[in-house]
Amino acid sequence: MNNTLASTLGELQTKIYWLHDAEKFAELAEAATKIYMKLGYDQQKAEIVGHLISEAYQLSDDADISYKAGDIEKEIKFYNQVKDRFIEVEAILGLQKSIAEHQMKWWIYFRHKQKLQVIYHLFLQHFKPLGFRYLFIAVQLTYCMLKIGKGHNLRDIEITHKNTTKYWMQLLKCHITKYPYLG
């Protein structure tokens, strides 16, 4: 069951990345909604969360455009809006409060090509809610996310799906009720 669920969640996560690239934000929201429904959230909460995640992706694109234009103040404004969307997601899903901040930060550093900062915030996004009990899994999740990013950058959907499935297999091993995944 967990392997099937992990594969389905991995497929949906992979789909989110490709829909983001294609700027199909309504479909991205639908894919995110499906992830949260598969994780056991009711449809209304999942739809709100899916919409917020889609908005976060759009705002991060606006932030990147501002960054490339040299308007750092505007970039920061957009990333603060990304964080606000993720904070809403945390509240709706009942997640620990540090996840949004770390997700937003690793997105910034990913776009700025600051790999060590990406690793640091990816790790904290997973370690803080999972704790020392799942330290090794938090390290594995961080590694999986890096491999997912590499597969996506190569535009290789198979590698990306393989690694998103590994990510979910590791995360589901924790048998927790609240997963530190925000899109």
Tens-place pLDDT, residues 4-42: 999 999 999 999 999 999 999 999 999 999 999 999 999
Domain map (residue ranges) of the chain: 2-172
Measured distance CA(124)–CA(64) in Å, rounded: 23
**Segment 57-87, tens digit of pLDDT:** 999 999 999 999 999 999 999 999 999 999 9
Band the pLDDT of 176: cuts 50, 70, 90: confident
Q: What share of the chain is helix, strand, coil (3-state, %, to 5)?
A: 80, 0, 20
Tell me the whole-structure pTM to 2 decimals: 0.94
Q: At what angle are helices 99-111 and 72-93 packed, to 10 degrees?
A: 150
